[in-house]
Structure 1
Amino acid sequence: MHRIIIILAATCLLYSCNSKTNEPSKLDKMAWILGYWEMVSPEGKVTESWIRTNDSVYSGIGKYTDTAGQTLTTEEISIVLRGDKLLYIPLVSNQNDGQPVIFSEVDFSNTMVVFENINHEFPQRIVYVKQGDGKMLAYIEGEMNGEPARLEYPYTKH
């Protein structure tokens, strides 16, 4: 009888460990961000291209190009899974003395993620929202010059 209890306990322990490891990570749950995204406006084009670098990192490149085709801003971005939290780490050309800025996840669902750094000049929040097949809204918001500000990027996947 003692042996059966030990075997039963070991089986339960193994089963509970196994089911936990099969649960998708937050990074897995936001795989919808992977790929090439584009927003075209009268002022130019904004693009983001995302790939999975490894099990804990998505790497992205963001570009703003004017109507003449000249790239005005380039941004290297990483979304990193640390423990159970995601970090959004952009490195923008000609900003922040060439240093990356770290935004921490403050809200997460299967269709939305909110990153925040209240000490950053602007933006303080970066948000990605899956809006359906091939559509995503990204926006940055916070305080700029003492006033609330928000810039939206309605992307289409290509």
Structure 2
Amino acid sequence: MKKLHFIVVVSAVLFLHSCKKYDANGKEIKEYEELSKANFLLGEWEKKDSIGVLKENWIAIDDSTFTGTSYFIINEKDTIHRESMELMQDGDYLIYRTTIKGENKDESVPFQKMEEKDSLLVFTNPKHEYPNKISYQLNKDKSVKTTISGIIKGKKSSETYTISQATE
């Protein structure tokens, strides 16, 4: 019986060990499955209209974190909105943090991914009035529809815009 128990334990250890991936130095390579669902955000995006240009840029800074910047330019030179974003996997959770200069004492506001399906990512923070929900939807034409929503002055409000890959 002890021999059978030993074989089962050794088999389980070998199985678990074989599921992990290692680099050339023998260091375990962690996979960030939740973050990989947001790979479609990587790159330079923009939306041009008669008022100005909204630009958004996302890069992978390491295997568990993407950072982004978003800004709106009018008159081809005046930046009237600037936002820094971070998307990171922490354990099994995908966390989106946003920092807007001049808002929330310049501190980041965290949102947790609560829903994801068919290239749709939805992040929420019910304690934050506006926005309390941010979603990114990859469209079939490879553009991204972004919706932010929440409560402004006691009323529900939302904004939706579509960004496309930058052409410059």
Assess same fold via TM > 0.5.
Answer: yes
Distance 1:65 1:95 in 2: 18
Q: 1:83: which partner in 2?
A: 91
- For residues 3-152 of structure 1, the aligned pairs below 5 Å read 6=6, 10-11=10-11, 13-16=13-16, 18-19=18-19, 25-109=33-117, 111-152=119-160
Q: TM-score, normalised by structure 1?
A: 0.86
State the AA in 1 paired with 2:46: E
Identical aligned residues as a percent:
25
Contact 2:32–2:64 (CA under 8 A) maintained in structure 1? no
Q: TM-score, normalised by structure 2?
A: 0.81
Counterpart of 2:109 in 1: which secondary structure? coil
Contact 1:143–1:149 (CA under 8 A) maintained in structure 2? yes
CA RMSD, Structure 1 to Structure 2 (Å):
2.4
Stretch deviating more after TM superposition (84-93 or 20-29):
20-29
Structure 2: gaps (5+ residues):
22-29
Counterpart of 2:36 in 1: which secondary structure? helix
Stretch deviating more after TM superposition (135-144 or 106-115):
106-115
Distance 1:104 1:24 in 2: 15
Contact 2:56–2:69 (CA under 8 A) maintained in structure 1? yes
